[in-house]
């Protein structure tokens, strides 16, 4: 069975050495706190105004302001800044926290398209930083598709023993 990492690398098309290149530079120090707030605000403004209901509805039970804060605090923590997310909410636990959402390949691609547009809309983000972040986001999105699939598979198996691997 392929690991989460193998699936994420294969499905995202992001090379292993690029997926976590965000760790080669301290992007928080380089870009500053407000840049991450601006990025997540721009991103969720796009998501909550998406004209495709199937995608917009994924976020229907989440408060937009909470979604923005959760996201920029995680980005800040993961990209070299203070551990704001963990201090407020505990471990990122990305797969567990995304469990309620249908993280399909289509949803991942649409999430990434909105994030691409958001990255292009925040002038403070230079080309090198943007490339690092795009690779990280793309790897992470498909890592979560793999996580979603793993969870659904385990759920089915628990109720249909003949499907056990």
The site for its own copies (CB under 8 A) is made up of: 3-5, 8, 16, 19-20, 23, 82-83, 86-97, 99-100, 139-140, 143, 147, 150-151, 154-155, 158-159
Handedness of CA 144, 149, 153, 155 (dihedral sign): positive
13 or 94: whose CB is closer to its own copies?
A: 94
Name residues whose C-beta falls within 8 Å of residue 12's C-beta, 6 or more positions apart in sequence: 19, 138, 139, 141, 142, 143
CB atoms within 10 A of CB 45: 14
7 or 110: whose CB is closer to its own copies?
A: 7
Name residues whose C-beta falls within 8 Å of residue 30's C-beta, 6 or more positions apart in sequence: 129
40 or 140: whose CB is closer to its own copies?
A: 140
108 or 122: whose CB is closer to its own copies?
A: 108
- Closest distance between its own copies and the C-beta of residue 75, in Å? 13
What's phi and psi for 98, nearest 5 deg?
A: -95, 0
- Closest distance between its own copies and the C-beta of residue 91, in Å? 5
- Closest distance between its own copies and the C-beta of residue 9, in Å? 8
Name residues whose C-beta falls within 8 Å of residue 73's C-beta, 6 or more positions apart in sequence: 84, 85, 88, 89
- Closest distance between its own copies and the C-beta of residue 96, in Å? 3
């Amino acid at each position: 069975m392929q690991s989460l990492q193998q699936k994420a690398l294969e499905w995202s098309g992001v090379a292993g050495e690029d997926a976590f290149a965000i760790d080669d530079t301290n992007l928080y120090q380089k870009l500053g706190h407000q840049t991450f707030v601006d990025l997540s605000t721009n991103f969720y403004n796009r998501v909550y105004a998406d004209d495709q209901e199937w995608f917009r509805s994924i976020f229907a039970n989440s408060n937009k302001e909470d979604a923005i804060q959760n996201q920029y605090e995680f980005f800040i923590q993961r990209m070299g800044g203070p551990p704001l997310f963990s201090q407020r909410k505990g471990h990122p636990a990305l797969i567990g926290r995304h469990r309620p959402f249908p993280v399909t390949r289509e949803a991942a691609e649409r999430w990434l398209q909105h994030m691409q547009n958001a990255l292009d809309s925040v002038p403070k983000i230079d080309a090198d930083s943007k490339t690092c972040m795009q690779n990280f986001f793309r790897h992470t999105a498909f890592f979560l598709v793999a996580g979603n699939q793993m969870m659904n598979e385990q759920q089915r198996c628990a109720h249909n023993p003949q499907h056990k691997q």
